[in-house]
A = this chain, B = another copy of it.
Amino acid sequence: MQDWSLTLDKLLDHAARWHGGREIVTRSVEGPVVRSTYADIHRRAKQVSHALLEAGVKPGDRVATMGWNSDRHLEAWYGAIGIGAVLHTLNPRLFPEQIVYIANHAGDEVLLADPACAPLLAEILPQCPTIRQVVFLSEAAPPTPFPALAYEAWIAGRPADTPWGGFDENAAAGLCYTSGTTGNPKGVLYGHRSNYLHAMMTLQPDALNLSARDTVLLIVPMYHANAWGVMYSAPMVGAKLVLPGQKLDGASLHELIEAEGVTYSAGVPTIWQMLLAHLKATKGKLTTLQRVTVGGSACPESIFRTLRDDYGVDVIHGWGMTETSPLATVSVPSPAIAGRSFEDQLPYKLKQGRLLCNLDLKLVDDAGRRLPHDGRTFGRLMIKGPTIASGYFRAEGGEVLDDEGFFDTGDVSTIDAEGYMQITDRAKDVIKSGGEWISSIDVENIAVAHPKAALCAVIGVVHPKWDERPVLLVQLKPGEQAGKQEFLDFLDGKIARWWMPDDVLFVDEIPLGATGKIDKKRLREGLTGYELPFDPNLRR
C-alpha cells in the first residue's frame, strides 16, 4: 500500500480541493459576520506559513495563539502546523501569572492574539522573554506599549504555495495546558498522528456523527481541550464551520444558529442553559439544529428534556479531557437501548457514555486491581489508546502510565454491563472508608435537595479506624436555620448506611472555584485542626 503519513496539513489540503467552496463563517473581532471558504482558509494559511518561516520559525518551535474562535485563528493554526511548528493555544481567561508560567514553560516564540487581549499582553509580555513577535489577528493592530504587527498586513501579498508536511507523522502538532487544580499547569503535546486518528474516530455515527452536510457551530473555545478535535474533523469531511468569536451569550448564539443553518454544536452545559433562557424569554425556535454534544461537566437532566421536548434537539453526553485529545466516550444508544422510549433511555443518556473504537478503559482499586463492569462498583478510571497522553510536556509529573500502559484520568467512575461509563467523583475527592469508596458527589447531590440547603459539600476527614469518614458541610439558604440531625434524617434511606456523614458542619459560605465548581481544596484547608467526633463502636 502507498506511503502516506498522517500529517494534519493534508486535512486542509483535502478540504480546499474537495470542499473548497464550503463556508467558514465567523463573528469577527471587528464585529460583523464574515464569510470565508476552505479554499480561502487554505490559501491564507499558506501565507501565514510563509510569514512564520520568514520570522525564523523552525519545525518543533512553538507558535502561540490567544484568541476566540475565528477564521484567522484557524488560518494561523494550519499555518503553524503545516510547516511542522507546534500550535500552542493560550487561554486568555487564566490568571496573568498562570499565562506567564505557561508561555515560558512552553517557550513560545511567536504569538498571534486577538486585539482584545492587548491590555493583558501589556501586563505579561515583559515577563515572557521567549516571545519575540506579536501579531494581532485583525485588520489593524491596537496601540500597544510593545511592538506588534497586524495580521492582514503581515500576510498580505505573500505567496500561497509554501510546502507543507514532509515530516514524521509522530511529530508534535499542538500543545494545550491543563488548568492544573493542583500544582502548576501541565502541557499536553498532541501529535499529527494522534490528532489525525482522533478526528477519524470522532466522525463515526457512534461519536459526533459528522458529515459534509453538517453545519458545525464550534462553541468550545479553540484554546480549550484541543477544540474537541473539530479543527481537524470539520475539514476532514468538509462540514461548514461557524465560529462565534467572543460572543457566547444566548442571543448571539441563537442568531448564528438560525442565520447559518447550524445542524450540530458542542459545548458545556452552561452554554445551553444560557441559550434555553434566551429562547424562553424570546419565544425563539431552533429550526435547523439537530443534535448537540455536551461535555466538560455532567449535563443536568432538564437540559436533555427541554432541548428535546421543546426544540427537537437531541442532547448527547460526551466525555474526555485535555489528556485524551479529548473525546473518549459518547452516550449514544447501545443496540439494547436503542429501541426503548426516551424515558427508558434517559438513565443511559445521563451517563458519560460508551467507549470509542481504538480506546480501552479499565476501573481499578487503589492496588491497581481491575474492578467489575457492573454499573455499581466504582474505581479509578484508567484509559489507553493512540489519542491518550503518555506524559506531559518536558516530562512534568514524571511517569503517568501504569504498567499496562493506562493513563490515570483522576476520575472515579462506574461502567455498566452495556459499556456505559459514568463519572462518580474526582479521585482526590472520593472518601476512602475502611477500604471502600464513598462518592462525595453522590451524597452532595442528595443533601442539596434539602429545602433549607443552598450548597452542600462532602469531604473526607482522617479517621483513626476507617482511614477517612465523610463530613457534610452545609451552606444554608439566607435566613434558614437547621440542626445536624435534620440533615442526617434527610439522607437516611437515600444512601447506604455506611455512606452516612459522621458529622454535619454549617458554614457561612462554601467557596467556589473559577469554573463555578466547589473548591474542595479551600474547604479542606479551612478544616485544618478539625477532628471527627470519634465513636469507636460506630460502624455505619
Contact = CB atoms under 8 A, between A and B. Distances in A.
A237 B14 contact: no
A388 B2 contact: yes
A22 interface: yes
A386 B17 CA distance: 18
A236 interface: yes
A354 B2 contact: no
A211 interface: yes
> What is the size category of the interface that chain A forms with chain B?
35 or more
A357 B333 CA distance: 26
A407 interface: yes
A18 B419 contact: yes
A204 interface: yes
13 contacts: A1-B194, A1-B390, A2-B390, A3-B390, A17-B360, A200-B200, A206-B211, A206-B237, A213-B333, A213-B334, A213-B338, A238-B335, A240-B335
A272 B358 CA distance: 34
Interface in A395-421: 401, 405, 407, 419
A332 B1 contact: no
A357 B204 contact: no
7 nearest interchain CB pairs? A4-B386, A1-B194, A205-B211, A203-B204, A200-B200, A2-B390, A236-B357
Contact of A211 (B17, B204, B355): B204
A212 interface: yes
Contacts of A206: 211-212, 237
A270 interface: no
Contact of A1 (B14, B333, B387): B387
Contacts of A67: none
Given A205-B211, A357-B14, A386 B2 contact: yes
A495 to B, nearest CB: 30
Contacts of A338: 213
A81 B172 CA distance: 31
Interface string A474-512: 000000000000000000000000000000000000000
Given A237-B206, A419-B18, A401 B2 contact: yes
A230 interface: no
Interface string A181-203: 00000000111011001001101
A10 interface: yes
A212 B2 contact: no
A385 interface: yes
Contacts of A10: 358
A205 B357 CA distance: 16
Interface string A335-368: 1001000000000000000110110100000000
Contact of A205 (B210, B334, B388, B407): B210
